[in-house]
Amino acid sequence: MSQMDQLIAELCPRGVEHKTLGDVGVFARGNGLQKKDLTESGIGAIHYGQLYTHYGVWATETKSFVSPELAKKLRRARVGDLVIATTSENDADVCKAVAWLGEADIAISGDAYIYRHMLEPKYVAYFFQSEQFRAQKMHHITGAKVKRISGESMAKFRIPVPPLEVQREIVKVLDAFTNLEAELEAELEARRRQYQYYRDALLAFSDQDVRWATMAEVGKFIRGRRFTKADYAEKGVACIHYGEIYTHYGTSANKVISHVRAEMKATLRFAKPGDVVITDVGETVEDVGKAVAWIGTEDVAIHDHCYAFRHSMNPRFVSYCMQTTSFIAEKAKYVARTKVNTLLMDGFSKIHIPVPPLDVQERIVDILDKFDAMVNDLSNGLPAEIKARRQQYAHYRDRLLSFREAA
C-alpha cells in the first residue's frame, strides 16, 4: 500500500466529501489593468493574457509590474489565492489558473478572477487542470469568437476536499512530475539553441565563396486568395491557412490538415510541389514570413495572407534559410509595424539568401533535417519523451484527484 493509500484509508475511510468551489472559497474579478499599464518594476502584476503564455501551476514572481499609484486602485491577489483567466479564443484555455505563492499581494487585470479559498493552493491549481474540472467547465462556457466563463458559474463546480495532509501529499507527487517535465524542457531548449547556432553557422557560408541573391532574383511570389474557416470541409480542396503555419507546420510538409469546399476551386490560388508557402502577417517580427516548404504531390490552395514562393532551389533549403537569425534581421527592415506586423511582396523580394549549388543545398538539408527532428519531432528524442511524460502526468493527476465520494 502506498503512502497515499495509507493516508486515505486512515483519514477518510468512508470516502471524501465533495463541495462546490463556492462552499470553500469566493471569486472576485480583477479590474482596470491593461497591457499599457505594465512596467518593469513596482508592484507585481499579472495580466490575464500572461496566464496562457508565461505561468505554470504556481508562481512566486511576476513577469510584470505596475506603479504603486495604480496598484492602489486595482484588485489584488493575496498569497495562496488562485489567479484565473476567464476569457480565451478556445475552450481549453478558459480557466487557465496559477496559484500565487509569492511574498506580497499582486495586482490582477480584468478578464481574470481571484479565487480566495481555504484549501492547499497548489492542490486547487492542479484540480483546475484535471479532467473532472474540464468536464464541468464545458457546460458553462459562453461566447463564440471569444470564450468566457463567470465567477458565478465556477462557484458551482464541485471539488473533492480531502484532509489537508492528503492534499499536500498529492501536491508532492504532482510537483515531482512537474519538476521532471521542467528539467526535460530545459534540456530541450538548450538543444534548440545549439541547433539554431549550428544552423545559422552552416547557412552563413562565411568561409565559402557562395553567391547571395535577392529572393526576387531566384524566384517569384504568388499571393493566395481568401477563404475562411467557415469554408472548411471534411473533403474537398487541400489547403493551407496562414494561421496553421504558425501552429501546425514545421520546416516542410507533405500533407495538409484542412480542406475547403470543392466548388471553391476555381476561385483559389495554389502552391505547387516545391513551392515555399510564406505568411505575410504575424504578431511578432519573427512570425512574419514564417515559411513551410510544400513537398506534397498535389497543388494546395493557399490563403490570401500567404505567398507561394516559386523557384528552382531545394525547397527545404529555402525554408531553413528563412529561419536564420540573419534572415530575420534583414526582413525586420521591411516589416510594417502596425497593429499586425506585415511584410509584403516588395519587402520579401529584397531579402538576400545564399544560392550554393544544388548538391550543397541537399547536403545541408540532410544535416539540418537530423537536427530538426531531434528538437521538434514528437515521435523522436526529447520531444517524444516530454510528450510521454505529459500523458503519464495527466493520467496520474486525474487518478490522484479522483476519490470515492462520502455518502
- Taking only the tens place, the pLDDT of each residue in 9-53 is 899 889 999 999 999 999 999 998 888 999 999 999 999 999 999
Q: Which of 23, 314, 324, 353 is nearest to 156 (CA)?
A: 23
All three cell numbers of 273, joined, read 510541389
Q: Look-up: residue for cell 514564417? A: 290
Q: Which residues contact 378 (CB under 8 A, 6 or more apart)?
A: 384, 387
Q: Please, what are the domains in the chain?
A: 1-16+166-186+360-407 (no CATH), 18-161 (3.90.220.20), 211-355 (3.90.220.20)
Q: What is the pLDDT of residue 113?
A: 97
Q: Which of 30, 24, 31 is nearest to 156 (CA)?
A: 24
pTM, to two decimals: 0.72
Residue pLDDT, tens place only, 342-374: 988 899 999 999 999 999 999 999 999 998 888
pLDDT lower than 50: segments of the chain = 1
> For residues 244-253, b (16+ Cβ closer than 10 Å) or e, as one string?
bbeeebebbb
175 class by beta-carbon count within 10 Å (0-12 exposed, 13-18 middle, 19+ buried): middle
SS3 content of the chain, % helix, strand, coil (to 5): 40, 25, 35
Q: Look-up: residue for cell 464541485? A: 158
Q: What is the pLDDT of residue 379?
A: 67
Average of per-residue pLDDT values in the chain:
93
Q: What is the pLDDT of residue 381?
A: 75
Q: What is the pLDDT of residue 1?
A: 45
Number of neighbouring beta carbons within 10 Å of residue 353: 23
201 three-state secondary structure: helix
